[in-house]
Amino acid sequence: MSEIIFLIEDAEDGGFIAKGLNYGIYTDAETVDELRENIRDAVRCHFDDNEAKPSVIRLHFVRDEVISA
């Protein structure tokens, strides 16, 4: 496996929530920099030393925007 993709959404109470697509990896943070570190840590914890870890972590930011008609 060469990459893992995380879906990043705004948390209701502020900050961000990250969900690993196709993996049961979840984390959150107050800032984007903190989120990046938390995601790296979560990926390291999820994969065993014997298991191939992804070489790339892709962050896909999803934001809902509402505008008046």
What's the one-letter identity of residue 12? E
What's the one-letter identity of residue 11? A
* pLDDT above 80 (res 50): no
The 10s digit of each residue's pLDDT in 26-43 is: 999 999 999 999 999 999
- First CA to last CA across the chain, in angstroms? 44
**Contact between 54 and 48 (Cβ < 8 Å):** no
Type and span of the H or E element at 32:
helix 32-46
Q: pTM of the predicted model, to two decimals? A: 0.86
Class of domain 3-62: alpha beta
**Contact between 59 and 18 (Cβ < 8 Å):** yes
* pLDDT above 70 (res 1): no
